[in-house]
Structure 1
């Protein structure tokens, strides 16, 4: 029995949804089991989320222009992106296919959408601004001072951190699980430490200004460009229209039909089977009830962990930046924003605070580096493995034989590219390229999700929210292109 879905890809084999207890190897899913086993992909997404936008673009925008007229962009972006994440993950849970493979089912077929999607993801993130910024933080930690403009050593540290990502994935038994555990440690340390620093440093009035700015609609402040706002919108939470590039971790986690299709194992994990096409479930009472259970777990993971963490991840660094601007009487620039707060707090509170803030900054940017670098490799591996029988024969069905050589190749390319521009400028480029995805993928999702088994299909209002993603993030991308080739569509 099979379920036809789209064009140019095999029909989905039909079988039963597994029960969550079967997947996670427990007798029941209580609060302890939820935290220990079910939560995970959202942490990988959150590790990327609390990074370039939260430590660079958000603080830079707030440091230069304040919260009013900027904060609401953060809130709207986080809300829209979390809804979008759920819709991307819906497809993964119902079919066990990573989104980049699913796009190949949309007319005219995989020959257009799969290579284009791989290209867009790599083109958006290969700039390496997240890596270069992390390198600046490591340099400041090692030398106790901010790196001079154009220094080579921060770039060498950035390359060393890329190598560390390779080591983490190579040492893993299951790559997704290794990323989850790393992000449990880093995200927890980041949020707790930032909260304690903010409680110590930031007066109540600035907390209130920030919270009010996040929920008060207001015109953008004079002087800020729509390109800056577009970068902030694109990299608040995750990566606007390109968030799908991380949602394939639900497959590797075993959510829903992902349990039937396999995962990418690490070098220590031994060979694991990864199907080249997805599976789905029949529309009967048992599967409908099981789908609802999986969907509830997804909602907890996305809204309870990702959304809350994304808002805190933007609030805590931006109010710290606002306080640093008030203390110093200066504003951050694109060149010094990665280490601006640490430098200001060093003068006000001494060397221990300088070191602590730098460590937080390095953790934030490394968690982003870990997730983005691995995801570029993962998306390309999934796409190549699913669509090329010749490659599957060449690697003897073991995706690791493509994954690791490609990761090393990409490492070399990023090491070259990150020498080309100021890190924050690279990040703004990546963020606005992420907004390009919002012009394309919401409509591909509508096509795919409307053809899932009845129990898994979205309600009508989910489609409305996908159109809002298209309008909100798409506007910023169109403006970015207009600004790049001539005049922006709108100025403030």
Structure 2
């Protein structure tokens, strides 16, 4: 990729409150950003698509491998599958709207929230707190540790074993080493997820075709597209967790969308990125840049927006639905074979143990490898995402910190990552992995009560070519109603009795 430059345009574009006006420069052409003469199909996959893979790597994890299969294993497809489909559609649309702001301004969403009244002193700390509070529980890390323990020892870990937690901490350290060895952190995450997500989906497809009968495939697909009430007996916490972590993290999905800035999408090309320790560039603008309202830039915007839709609906949505369908029908087959149902303690390794009895030791290890890859891809994205959001927020809002860092955000990024690693190492000892994941997922639903309204405020004020249509706002409000309902019901269930029982 060519060096990022900011055009010497003295105009500014005011947006929101408490943050400086945006600088103004022309949108780049995609070919300029990706360093190609023509953006054909090969170049599209090689250079342009990718940020959605980081989100997909997180997506095919806590919801798809743990909560979805657990719910299907206990309650069947009907009612559960419909919640999954609605959640995936709404979240993909929400991702697009969050990324719209990133492309139009070159600012990560956590920085953009600071433009919403009353200003950054409220919303930036609140946003960082909600992301860390939702994911600090470390259920995704603990579950990966359980899978790795089983892979090493050839058996499911005993209840309360310490070694799976040590493996979880080791995998967190591996994330630190991967980002430290990167030249460009987002690109390293993309390449890792191309490999992991591709391997996961291919392996799951082959295994599922081999072991799951056609009738169960049809039952699973029918469950996704059949409108139905939630099944009797499922709790508000289970259903809210399933809705929250299907696809990604409901109201907190925006924490991953800053990768479009680092990829150079739209005005992200003008604002820079966070480089790894091996990277030789430190530039990351503290304030965003937008484009003038003219015909040339409107035409470029349409091209960028089509790329975003292709990345999100063509890769993220399709991958998320496959990532939920394949593990859930595998789980249904495992329940059929074993005659048992998964519990909160056994779900990370339930399928591997059930298929071993029918297909031998090789299948046990293969399923464990797939499970570890799934949960590690989630771990990689979530852990790095918490560090990234905090770094972006601190770097953009504190001139004093930027002076202390000498303009190099890496001097904050890596020490904070080590601090967070230590905190998660303590927290993941506090509960069973799936219980931690359910808590995180319901905390994600809290974000759905807040951030869609903030997106409406920001996106309505973008340059005309980038502004959403009225029905986009309606769909954002539907996000609030859908995920917000599950959060309110979760809180009512937590403190007493749920508002709605199933």
The TM-score with structure 2 as length reference comes to 0.98
Query: CA offset at residue 53 of structure 1?
Result: 0.3
Is 1:191 the equivalent of 2:201? yes
Q: Distance in 2 between matches of 1:272 and 1:212?
A: 51
Counterpart residue number, 1:85: 95
Counterpart residue number, 2:17: 7
Query: CA offset at residue 397 of structure 1?
Result: 0.4
Is 1:174 the equivalent of 2:179? no
Query: CA offset at residue 219 of structure 1?
Result: 1.5
Could you list the per-position Cα deviations for residues 422-461 of structure 1 after superposition, in whole angstroms to 9, with x for gaps in the alignment? 0000000000000000000000000000000000000000
Q: Distance in 2 between matches of 1:368 and 1:425?
A: 16
SS of the equivalent of 1:338 reads helix
Is 1:28 the equivalent of 2:38? yes
Is 1:253 the equivalent of 2:234? no
1:64-463 matches, cutoff 5 A = 64-463=74-473
Moved over 2 A (4+): none
| Alpha carbons 2:145, 2:168 under 8 Å: kept | yes
Counterpart residue number, 1:466: 476
Q: Distance in 1 between matches of 2:69 and 2:17?
A: 45
Q: Distance in 2 between matches of 1:222 and 1:81?
A: 25
Counterpart residue number, 2:72: 62
SS of the equivalent of 1:339 reads helix
SS of the equivalent of 1:89 reads helix
Q: Distance in 2 between matches of 1:389 and 1:14?
A: 21
Query: CA offset at residue 220 of structure 1?
Result: 1.2
Query: CA offset at residue 221 of structure 1?
Result: 1.2
Query: CA offset at residue 227 of structure 1?
Result: 1.7
Query: CA offset at residue 226 of structure 1?
Result: 2.0
Q: Distance in 2 between matches of 1:208 and 1:37?
A: 36
Query: CA offset at residue 474 of structure 1?
Result: 0.3
Q: Distance in 1 between matches of 2:173 and 2:326?
A: 29
Contiguous gaps of at least 5 residues in structure 1: none
Could you list the per-position Cα deviations for residues 30-86 of structure 1 after superposition, in whole angstroms to 9, with x for gaps in the alignment? 000100011110000000000000000000000000001110000000000000000
Is 1:37 the equivalent of 2:37? no
Q: Distance in 2 between matches of 1:368 and 1:399?
A: 24
Could you list the per-position Cα deviations for residues 157-181 of structure 1 after superposition, in whole angstroms to 9, with x for gaps in the alignment? 0000000000000000000000000
Counterpart residue number, 2:4: none
SS of the equivalent of 1:217 reads coil
Could you list the per-position Cα deviations for residues 295-334 of structure 1 after superposition, in whole angstroms to 9, with x for gaps in the alignment? 0000000000000000000000000000000011100000
Q: Distance in 2 between matches of 1:15 and 1:141?
A: 53
| Alpha carbons 2:282, 2:407 under 8 Å: kept | no
The TM-score with structure 1 as length reference comes to 1.00
Query: CA offset at residue 186 of structure 1?
Result: 0.2
Q: Distance in 1 between matches of 2:76 and 2:226?
A: 13
Counterpart residue number, 2:3: none
Q: Distance in 1 between matches of 2:281 and 2:424?
A: 28
Q: Distance in 1 between matches of 2:237 and 2:425?
A: 26
Could you list the per-position Cα deviations for residues 197-230 of structure 1 after superposition, in whole angstroms to 9, with x for gaps in the alignment? 0000000000000000000011111110122111
Q: Distance in 2 between matches of 1:130 and 1:481?
A: 22
| Alpha carbons 2:77, 2:223 under 8 Å: kept | yes
Could you list the per-position Cα deviations for residues 211-257 of structure 1 after superposition, in whole angstroms to 9, with x for gaps in the alignment? 00000011111110122111000000000000000000000000000
SS of the equivalent of 1:439 reads coil
Query: CA offset at residue 391 of structure 1?
Result: 0.5
Paired residues, number = 492
Q: Distance in 2 between matches of 1:393 and 1:222?
A: 58
Contiguous gaps of at least 5 residues in structure 2: 1-10
CA RMSD of aligned residues (A): 0.4
